[in-house]
Amino acid sequence: MVYKDFRSDTVTQATPEMRRAMMEAEVGDDILGEDPTVQKLETMGASMFGKEAALLVVSGTMANQIAIMVLTQLGDEIILGEETHLYNLEVGGIAALSGVQARAIKSHMGKFDLKDIKRAIRPKGVQSPVSRVLCLENTYDLNRGYSLSPEYQAEVAGIARANGMAVYLDGARLFNAAAALKVTVAQLAADVDALQVCLTKGLAAPFGSLLMGSRAFIDRARWIRQRIGGGMRQIGHMAAAGIVALESMVDRLAEDHVNAQRLAAGLAAIDERLVDLDKVKTNIVQIDFAPVGKDALYMTEALLARGIKVKPIGETSCRMITHYGLDAHDVDAAVAAIRDILCK
Ligand SMILES: Cc1ncc(COP(=O)(O)O)c(C=O)c1O
């Protein structure tokens, strides 16, 4: 059976143009600074995001962890959102690799209450950890995909800066946020000290994230990447796909958002309690099967039998993400399959 895979935008596969570019890439030993294709990708990234420098790393997780290693000292505290990847899905890396503790705060559709940020910042004192970094995520929550505006980011960054903190942005899906808000990624990067963006999600490259920031930040990040075994040799083959991703896959993300709206509307037409339409902002749709008396595993298996893959994320909820590998026809087929299962 050919499956339609809605579990994540990470399942996207390299486009024909990427495959050609990977094969033909001019490469060199990147640890020695001799891979022209990596250099081209890093220069492109830095200029697109308005930062001094960029570094290609293996994954979003590695980018996040290197950033925290660069920006903190042992025993520091970082402030982040309760639903973030950094807090929940990086194997305790901030503790294991940086020796820092997390102060996790609640958000409302991705936004922190400014009072909560202020309250989370430690007063200076002999017994207090130092509040060192405020970590943002945009889009926020990989099961929701809320976008945060440049204005909101500037406001929270202002609070952090006034308290001597750095601001780091996990922008795994920052291009989705930019598409949803109709702003540039440079606008979304303007008020943060450092950020990462994933090439492997909606942009469909098979590899890599770009970590970006000041020249000094990236110099230090390169050194730490080497320490943790992330230095790479003829990785220009992979960087070549990243270049195609930045050049040709950004503008089509709006299509994924249209398809997510189509999916959400289709689900709401089956039963309006299945989906909260107000919370579908980018390419992620969360479905709650509790009101129709079904659990997530039952629905996941029943959909799999019909050739549709979805991700269970709770006892009664599933996530579906639209991406390059799925079109409106696939969305309609998924809605029809869900209708068929629920109406049995
Ligand atoms: C918000 C966010 N940050 C970071 C990551 C980590 O990226 P990677 O899977 O490349 O390590 C993900 C992956 O899903 C993510 O959604």
Query: What letter represents residue 336's amino acid?
Result: A
Q: Indicate which CATH number applies to the domain containing 241.
A: 3.40.640.10
Residue 191 in tokens: 């008020």
Q: Which of 111, 170, 99, 164 is nearest to 138 (CA)?
A: 170
pLDDT in tens, 259-297: 999 999 999 999 999 999 999 999 999 999 999 999 999
Angle subtended by helix axes 328-342 and 253-270, to nearest 10: 20
The confidence score (pLDDT) of residue 108 equals 97
pLDDT in tens, 54-76: 999 999 999 999 999 999 999 99
Count of domains observed in the chain: 2
Same domain for 104 and 123? yes
pLDDT in tens, 25-44: 999 999 999 999 999 999 99
Same domain for 178 and 103? yes
The confidence score (pLDDT) of residue 4 equals 98
Kindly report the pTM of this predicted structure.
Answer: 0.98
Give bridge partners of residue 196 from the DSSP assignment: 170, 211
Residue 96 makes CB contacts below 8 A (sequence gap 6+) with none
Residue 59 in tokens: 């994954």
Q: Which atom of ligand 1 is nearest to the CA of 10?
A: 14
Q: Of the candidates 248, 272, 291, which is a domain's last residue? A: 248
Q: Which atom of ligand 1 is nearest to the CA of 142?
A: 16
Dihedrals φ, ψ of 321, to 5°?
A: -120, 135
Kindly list the distances between the CA atom of residue 4 and the CA atoms of 1, 281, 286, 294, 332, in Å, as whole numbers in the listed order.
10, 22, 17, 21, 11
Mean pLDDT of 156-162: 98
Number of CB atoms found within 10 A of residue 274's CB: 23
- C-alpha of residue 335 to centroid of ligand 1, in Å: 27
Q: Of the candidates 213, 248, 283, which is a domain's last residue? A: 248
| 109: three-class secondary structure by DSSP | coil
> What is the spatial distance between Cα 314 and Cα 287, in angstroms, rounded to a whole number?
10
Pocket test for ligand 1, best of 58, 68, 85 (most atoms within 8 A of CB): 85
Residue 112 in tokens: 């922190």
Q: Indicate which CATH number applies to the domain containing 283.
A: 3.90.1150.10
Same domain for 189 and 288? no
Same domain for 244 and 289? no
Same domain for 228 and 93? yes
Pocket test for ligand 1, best of 142, 196, 211 (most atoms within 8 A of CB): 142
Cβ(107)–Cβ(101) under 8 Å?
Answer: no
Pocket test for ligand 1, best of 89, 174, 283 (most atoms within 8 A of CB): 89
Residue 5 lies in a domain: no
Residues near ligand 1 (Cβ within 6 A): 10, 59-61, 64, 85, 137, 142, 170, 172, 198, 200, 209
Residue 311 lies in a domain: yes
Give bridge partners of residue 76 from the DSSP assignment: none
Residue 2 lies in a domain: no
Number of CB atoms found within 10 A of residue 265's CB: 14
Domain hosting residue 288, numbered range? 252-342
> What is the spatial distance between Cα 268 and Cα 184, in angstroms, rounded to a whole number?
31
Q: Which atom of ligand 1 is nearest to the CA of 141?
A: 1
Q: Of the candidates 221, 248, 275, which is a domain's last residue? A: 248
